[in-house]
C-alpha cells in the first residue's frame, strides 16, 4: 500500500494492515448501523457483541479454562503495577519479584508503595539486564512471584517461565502476550498493555484466576478492584470502546487469518532469526542480549559509535524502515518484530543491514 513504512516501533507498534483497512472501511457506519463504533453505547447489543467476541477469542487462543477471567482495564500496563499488589498481596506475606530491567523496576517500585516486604529474589542488573536470571529461590509463603516475560527495552525474554514452586505466578506480558502459545496453569494472573501485539495503547488485558479474586480487599476504590471489573464484565464504567473494537479485530486476524499462536510463533521465530543471523555474521552490529536470553520480539544491537548509529538510522528511514532507535535509557538500536510486522518487512530490514555493512568495506 502507498506511503506505508516498514514499522519497527516498540509500542504503540504496527497493527495488521487488514485490521487497519477494516477500521477505515467501517468507520462511518459500524456493521450497517449508520453510526461509527465511536458513537454507539457501550451497553448496546452491538458493542456487547464486540466485547464478547474479544473475550471468547482470547479464551480460545490461550486455551483458558473456566477458572480464568478476561478483563479489559484502563491505564495501560503501568496501572497494573499498582493494582497487582493492592489487590493480590496477602496480609503479612512477602511479595517476590524478579528484576529484568526498567519495567520490572517500575512494578517493584509500585509494590513497595503498597506492601512492606517486597523481595527481589533475582536480578540481571549486574550485567546491564542483558540476560534472564534463572538462579532464584522463591519464598514458600510469598503472596505471588512477579516477573516481566519480555524485556522490551533490553531485548531479553523468558523462554522457560520461572518455577513458582506452588506460589502463583504473575507476569507482565505487555510485549509478548499472544506472540506464542502459553500454558496458563501456573499463573494467578497475567496482564499486558495492548499497544504491542494486541491493539491500541491506554488499555490493558488482564487474565485472572478465580481464586485470586478472593484476595481483593473490600476497601479499595471501586475502579481499582479486579472484582469490580470482573463482576461488571469490564463494563463497570464506560470502557475505551474503540480500543476494545480494535483488539477484537486483531484477535480475529490472529485466530482466523494467521491460524493461532502456534503459527504466529513460527513466524516470529523466522523473523527474529533473519535479523539475529545478520548480527551474528557481522563486523559492525553487536547484539546486546546474551544469546540464550534473546527476545523474539525486540532485537537490540549496537553500532561502533554514535555517528555510525545516526547514519544507520537516517539511511534506514530513507529506505522506508522506521522505528529502529533504541530506548532512551539503553541507547543503541532496536528492531521490534511484533506479530503484525511481516516477514517481508523483516527481510527488507535484513537486506538493508547487510547493504549498510557492505558500504563500510
Ligand X SMILES: Cc1ncc(COP(=O)(O)O)c(C=O)c1O
* Catalytic machinery residues: 103, 172, 196
Name the minimum Å distance from CB 358 to ligand X.
33
In whole angstroms, how far apart are CA 280 and each of 2, 78, 275?
33, 34, 9
Which spans of this chain sit near ligand X (rule: CB under 6 A)? 11, 76-78, 103, 148, 152, 172, 174-175, 193, 201
Name the minimum Å distance from CB 49 to ligand X.
26
- In the complex, residue closest to ligand X by CB: 76
Scanning 176-298, the segments in alpha helix (DSSP H) are 210-213, 226-231, 241-252, 261-280
CA angle 176, 335, 11 (to 5 degrees): 55
> Can you say whether the dihedral through the CA atoms of 227, 84, 329, 280 is positive or negative?
negative
For ligand X, the closer CB: 82 or 303: 82
For ligand X, the closer CB: 97 or 356: 97
Name the minimum Å distance from CB 103 to ligand X.
4
* Sheet (strand 298-302) strand order: 286-287, 298-302, 333-336
For ligand X, the closer CB: 11 or 323: 11
Which DSSP string corresponds to 62-131? HT--TTEEEEEEESHHHHHHHHHHHHHPPTT--EEEEE-SHHHHHHHHHHHHH-S-EEEEEE-GGGTT-S
For ligand X, the closer CB: 18 or 331: 331
Name the minimum Å distance from CB 300 to ligand X.
13
Amino acid at each position: 500500500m502507498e506511503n506505508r513504512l516498514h514499522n519497527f516501533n516498540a509500542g504503540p507498534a504496527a497493527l495488521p494492515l487488514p485490521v487497519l483497512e477494516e477500521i477505515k472501511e467501517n468507520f462511518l457506519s459500524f456493521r450497517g448501523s449508520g453510526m461509527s463504533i465511536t458513537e454507539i453505547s457501550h451497553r448496546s447489543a452491538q458493542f456487547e457483541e464486540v466485547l464478547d467476541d474479544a473475550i471468547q477469542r482470547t479464551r480460545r487462543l490461550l486455551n483458558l479454562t473456566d477458572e480464568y477471567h478476561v478483563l479489559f482495564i484502563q491505564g495501560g500496563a503501568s496501572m497494573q503495577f499498582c493494582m497487582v499488589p493492592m489487590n493480590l498481596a496477602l496480609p503479612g506475606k512477602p511479595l517476590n519479584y524478579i528484576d529484568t530491567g526498567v519495567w520490572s523496576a517500575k512494578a517493584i517500585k509500585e509494590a513497595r508503595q503498597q506492601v512492606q516486604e517486597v523481595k527481589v529474589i533475582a536480578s540481571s542488573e549486574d550485567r546491564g539486564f542483558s540476560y534472564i536470571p534463572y538462579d532464584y529461590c522463591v519464598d514458600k509463603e510469598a503472596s505471588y512471584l512477579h516477573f516481566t516475560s519480555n524485556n522490551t527495552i533490553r531485548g531479553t525474554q523468558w523462554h522457560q517461565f520461572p518455577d513458582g514452586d506452588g506460589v502463583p505466578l504473575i507476569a507482565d506480558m505487555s510485549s509478548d502476550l499472544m506472540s506464542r502459545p502459553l500454558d496458563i496453569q501456573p499463573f494467578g494472573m497475567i496482564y499486558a498493555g495492548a499497544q504491542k501485539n494486541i491493539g491500541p495503547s491506554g488499555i490493558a488485558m488482564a487474565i485472572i484466576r478465580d481464586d485470586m479474586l478472593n484476595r481483593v480487599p473490600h476497601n479499595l476504590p471501586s475502579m481499582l478492584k479486579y472484582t469490580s471489573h470482573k463482576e461488571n464484565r469490564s463494563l463497570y464504567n464506560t470502557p475505551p470502546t474503540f480500543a476494545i473494537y480494535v483488539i477484537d479485530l486483531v484477535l480475529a486476524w490472529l485466530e482466523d487469518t494467521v491460524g493461532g499462536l502456534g503459527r504466529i510463533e513460527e513466524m516470529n521465530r523466522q523473523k527474529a532469526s533473519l535479523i539475529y543471523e545478520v548480527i551474528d555474521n557481522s563486523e559492525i552490529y553487536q547484539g546486546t542480549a546474551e544469546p540464550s536470553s534473546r527476545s523474539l520480539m525486540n532485537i537490540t544491537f549496537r553500532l561502533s559509535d554514535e555517528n555510525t548509529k545516526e547514519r544507520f538510522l537516517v539511511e534506514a528511514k530513507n529506505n522506508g524502515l522506521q522505528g529502529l532507535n533504541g530506548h532512551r535509557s539503553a541507547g543503541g538500536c532496536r528492531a521490534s518484530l511484533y506479530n503484525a510486522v511481516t516477514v517481508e518487512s523483516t527481510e527488507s530490514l535484513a537486506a538493508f543491514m547487510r547493504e549498510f555493512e557492505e558500504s563500510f568495506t
